[in-house]
Structure 1
Amino acid sequence: MQVWPHPPVTAHRRPADEQESRRANGADWDRYADEYQATHGEYLGDVGFLWGPEGLTEADAGILGEVAGRDVLEVGSGAGQCSRWIRSRGGRAFGLDLSHRQLQHSRRIDEVTGVTVPSVRGTATALPFADGSFDVVFSSFGALQFVADIEAAVNETARVLRPGGRFAFSITHPTRWMFPDDPTEEGLTAAQSYWDRTPYVEVDDVTGETAYVEHHRTLGDWVHLLAGAGFRLTTLLEPQWPEGNDRPWGGWSRVRGTLTPGTAIFGADLL
């Protein structure tokens, strides 16, 4: 489901465990980080918080609530743009990402902006932080879609949150799993079952190594996961494609976005 330049790969639908997913996706983001930042960096903003390709900002959405004076963890932080926005508003934001190259870009932007996001390399399934360390944990199109052991990731989030803490994340809208990842009219015809949770796997044609893995959960799966980890779901946003945004982003585009949601944003509180 990728459109950026990539080694020749063959797509498969087959099981992929956490170890295989982590190994493939960490290397994939290391390869892709430079192009991603060059292509999308200006749109994201060095100190900016977007929830998805539609351009919905946290300043407008307010999903995290007040961040000033709060301890905040971004899981799948990439180059730290969202965390840097939080720090610019008085929050104590920290980043975590699987990709070493993405974290190098975060350090670069720290130096350019003077807004530093302390960041670590790690995985969503084993957060290297003590219990009850944060008031807010969030992920803006980070980590979660690339994790096989999603129950472990959600439980880890609950562990590092303080009672009453906020968990928010954006993902590709689950209904998009039915459609080809194509921003044109060709991407508007359902091609597979919404309920088929078999992972999407790309294998390098030359090396035979797994190059990319993405995991699908339905809306109901996410509600079940959050409730099972002790969260109360309070927010589910499905941003409409805004007027004036003609910028395609992979499979996201005005052609598709005016007809069907491309992004789902969840907000939940830890009971």
Structure 2
Amino acid sequence: MQNDLGKPPSALWQSPAERALGTAGIARRQADSAETVAANTAWWDAYAEEYHAEHGEFLGVADFVWCPEGLREEDAGLLGDVDGRAVLEVGCGSAPCARWLTTHGAHVVGLDLSTAMLRYATAAGELTGIEVPLVRGNAERLPFATGSFDLACSAFGAVPFVADVAAVFGEVARVLRPGGRWVFAVTHPIRWIFPDDPGPDGLRVTSSYFDRTPYLEVDAGGQATYAEHHRTFGDFVRALTAAGLNLRDVIEPEWPEGHTREWGQWSPLRGALFPGTAIFVCDKPEPVT
């Protein structure tokens, strides 16, 4: 989502999080796992309050919204029957999805890199009485035993914000039991060819789809303060296959009629013309006997 703000940093309009982090500009260069983890830990810790002020009402405190188009797990059923299932939410943020799953009988653990986001999750759990076990951790190295979960999910959490997506998929495959399911939502890869703008300027192709150079926001010394990584559809499929996962489906939610809410680069204008979200539905095969 490229900072969810839709335009380059500028001293004239910088958000409080950008000012706190000393964000001075944009860079397109490689960023390894260590730099990416450091940048995104700092970003989401600094941005958590603004994020919830802007998007908290839309996401709810115990609701499972997959994407800015408003597709809900209640309607889509991508995870199947969750009652009694052990579920890991990867990049849970303030954990509204995890709390929704809990109300539907799942045994959920939420993992996130950001301490500030997990504080919001803890507060929301106390407010609603729907408490979910929360773990601070890196999705590239999941701190769980092999075969711990029946299901894993991520609604724009972690996957776009890691340098090594193959490591994430490998870890998810490891902690899933045979027959388990992994469902994750990301910015649709085609969006990366357009400027990150919800208006008419966001309809112009300005970048190559095949340019995997990460999008970074950097401070005056060139150190990343935010990092997001682009993968093509083929990149996702190859990484999933290499992890031993089977791709069952890809959902590309259409923009709903009457849905007028903009979210960063998501808007009715763009949503009517091309997809903004891709949701990958994957299974871990049962062993062959």
**TM-score normalised by structure 2 residue count:** 0.92
Partner of 2:252: 238
Following the alignment from structure 2 to structure 1, what is the Cα–Cα distance between the partners of residues 105 and 272? Answer: 36
Indicate the RMSD between aligned Cα atoms, in angstroms: 1.0
Partner of 1:121: 136
Partner of 1:244, secondary structure, is: coil
Question: Matches of residues 92-171 of structure 1 in structure 2 within 5 Å?
Answer: 92-171=107-186
Segments of 5+ residues of structure 1 without an aligned counterpart are none
1:149: Cα distance to partner?
1.2
Partner of 2:142, secondary structure, is: coil
Partner of 1:267: 281
Deviations 1:58-78 (A, max 9, x none): 011111111000000000000
Partner of 1:235, secondary structure, is: strand
1:209: Cα distance to partner?
2.7
Following the alignment from structure 1 to structure 2, what is the Cα–Cα distance between the partners of residues 21 and 86? Answer: 29
Deviations 1:189-220 (A, max 9, x none): 01100010011111113x54310111011011
Alignment of 1:76 onto 2:91: yes
Partner of 1:32: 47
1:38: Cα distance to partner?
1.3
Partner of 1:258: 272
1:185: Cα distance to partner?
0.8
Following the alignment from structure 2 to structure 1, what is the Cα–Cα distance between the partners of residues 33 and 191? Answer: 23
Partner of 2:211, secondary structure, is: coil
**1:234 partner amino acid:** R
Deviations 1:10-35 (A, max 9, x none): 11111100000000001000010011
**TM-score normalised by structure 1 residue count:** 0.98
Counterpart among 224, 229, 233 of residue 215 in structure 1:
229
Segments of 5+ residues of structure 2 without an aligned counterpart are 6-13
How many residue pairs align between the two structures? 270
Counterpart among 40, 51, 62 of residue 47 in structure 1:
62
Deviations 1:36-90 (A, max 9, x none): 1111111101000011000000011111111000000000000000000000000
Partner of 1:203, secondary structure, is: strand
